[in-house]
Amino acid sequence: GYKEVREEEKSQLVGNVFTSVASSYDLMNDLMSGGLHRLWKERLVDKLNPFPGMKHLDVAGGTGDVAFRIMDRINNVARRAARDIQDDHLLEETEIYVCDINPNMLKVGKKRGRLGEEDKSLIWVQGDAEALRFEDESMDGYTVAFGIRNVTHIEKVLTEAHRVLKPGGRFLCLELSHVEAPPILKNLYDYYSFSVIPAMGEVVAGDRESYQYLVESIRRFPQQEKFGRMISEAGFHKVEYENLVGGVVAIHSGLKF
């Protein structure tokens, strides 16, 4: 957020934030966004257009919210298709990796999976977005939702995303961004962000400070155009972004040629 800390301290401090909020993370997302985060994630998956047999990496996806949606979409595609041995084989080859640096977030995601019919294609991996333990050109797709603003070096994350994607693979980032609206609406948004959300975090999660950080981290994140340039500088082509709700969130995308 706005607090100045040494570079080597940031990952530990951010880790402490997500350890604190892990158990209430999904509930708070519903409350803070009025449930809109579900639609935003559906839009992200629409842009990904997942398919049976794909190898996909969802980074900072500990609670599994995006990965479950991707897997549901792949299963729906398979059900709509004429089923044969080849279709079944493609489903068996599907691998959706959920990578998160925080073990508590992964624990929440695994528990959610057990509540339903856990899919063997979902693979949970503890790892650092800045130093992924995946081979070069091994993934068809890469998503990160509401996570990239919390890393220490955004450039390293983007470079790693480019490295692990196959040629033709797509990078997609859903992130809280900068509102492009008249001043009165921006002022209302600022009031909601800095006054309502931390208070909500204190009541629901018993942790005001972590949600104060989350709000401040949004304001420190690069604006849409600048973040798009960073994605291009990492080697991606056809970089574009879509603002949702006037820039409250944005989906950036890029292709690896």
Instruction: Output the average pLDDT for the chain.
Output: 88
Of 7-11, 51-55, 163-167, the one with minimum mean pLDDT is 7-11
Question: Does position 236 have pLDDT exceeding 50, yes or no?
Answer: yes
* Residues 60-75 as b or e (16 or more Cβ within 10 Å = b): bbbbbbbbbbbbebbb
Of residues 85, 10, 99, the one with CA closest to residue 52? 85
* pLDDT band with cut points at 50, 70 and 90 for residue 80: low
Residue 2's pLDDT band (boundaries 50, 70, 90)? very low
Q: Which fold has domain 7-256?
A: Rossmann fold (3.40.50)
- The mean per-residue pLDDT over the stretch 157-163 comes to 98
Average pLDDT over residues 202-211: 86
Question: Quick one: pLDDT at residue 5?
Answer: 42
Q: What is the pLDDT of residues 170-197, one digit of tens each?
A: 999 999 999 988 888 889 999 999 999 9
Identify the helix (H) or strand (E) that includes residue 145.
Answer: strand 139-145
**How confident is the model over 4-14, as pLDDT tens digits?**
545 555 566 56
Residue 240 CA to residue 254 CA, distance in Å, equals 7
pLDDT at 64 over 60: yes
Instruction: Determine the Cα–Cα distance for residues 152 and 9; give it in Å rounded to an integer.
Output: 9
Question: Model pTM greater than 0.85?
Answer: yes
